[in-house]
Amino acid sequence: MLAYRLTAPDLNALHLFDEAIPEPGPTEVIVKMRAASLNYKDTFYLAGDKGIRLPRPTIPLSDGSGEVVAVGSHATRFSVGDRVVGNFVQDWLYGSIPEHAVDSSTTLGHGIDGCLAEYRAFNEQGLLRLPRNLSWEEGATLPCAALTAWNAVRDVRAWETVLILGTGGVALFALQFAKALGAKAIVTSSSDAKLARAVDIGADQVVNYHNNPEWHQEVRKLTGGRGVEHVVDTVGPDTLERSIAAAARDGHVHLVGLINPAGSVKALSILGGMVSVRGVRVGSRKMFEEMNAFIESKDIHPIIGHRYAWDDAKAAFIRQLDGPDFGKIVVDIDA
């Protein structure tokens, strides 16, 4: 089989290797990978001394889907032919994230080889069935962006309003989920073209933060001064204070992003508004299964912005480094 490996924190160190197809251990299954997708976090592994250095030459990309082609002697969760997707933190099955997993030792594409390969061996506990309504490419977008968004908005009520910062992968899933839950959604971006597309997929109101630097005030105007019940902050600390200011009393800010960690937050803004600020980091397998059931029941389809062939995988990384236009970036492994 062929597999891409990143041998150093630089895009020029992404090389294609000819390797043996793995044999399944007793509790493993072998998956013929069909598609993989990129996330913003994947750029951290290409940032040289300022980025994340992998512990060894590693198959990149945590998010991928494929078909089970072999099953270990003691594996019982899957059969040959099943369509599956990997869980980002392989042994986070339910509840809070395991303490030993916080250091990324059991995450795909970091402590464990990722999905940018023709075949992969997975412990059966680290896999889930794909939603039946999704293609390989759509299913490959779920493990990080979709699950993070679901973790943030899964408890949103139909009468509530959700403010979503940006139009990246997590943001677009948050928009789709919030609307499917019956909530209103406000989306921010510096691009009128992206805001127009956000409206096309369900945004009720939009705010151009380039034209409105005090965008939190505009959000409060749009909600009659009340503020929003939920904010999905995909940017990070330098937007957090405005996110808190945009929230209604007893509102919730779901902190997802760390694009710019330079900001600071005044504790008084949290206390004064009695706002809850919660860090969100993907989710468990149980939460993933819950999300997949919701995706099936509502027939939600992930938004894909760019597709790349297997031989053109490096171009997919370049696109991610440049910033995707709108929607997820996918590599077709078995096109």
Torsion of CA 313, 315, 317, 321, to 10 degrees: -170
The answer to whether 40 and 30 are in contact (CB under 8 A) is: no
pLDDT of residue 104: 77
pLDDT of residue 275: 75
Q: What are 4-37's pLDDT values in tens digits?
A: 999 999 999 999 999 999 999 999 999 999 999 9
What whole-number distance in Å separates Cα of residue 283 and Cα of residue 152? 10
Q: What are 241-289's pLDDT values in tens digits?
A: 899 999 999 999 999 876 655 555 654 555 455 678 888 889 999 999 9
User: If we measure between CA atoms, which residue out of 129, 101, 100 comes closest to residue 29?
Assistant: 129
Tokens of 281: 């980091």
pTM assigned to the model: 0.94
Non-local CB neighbours of 192 within 8 Å, separated by 6+ positions:
208
pLDDT of residue 3: 98
Conformation bin of residue 227: beta by default, left when phi > 0, alpha when psi is -120 to 50: left
Q: What are 188-229's pLDDT values in tens digits?
A: 999 999 999 999 999 999 999 999 999 999 999 999 999 999
pLDDT of residue 265: 61
pLDDT of residue 180: 98
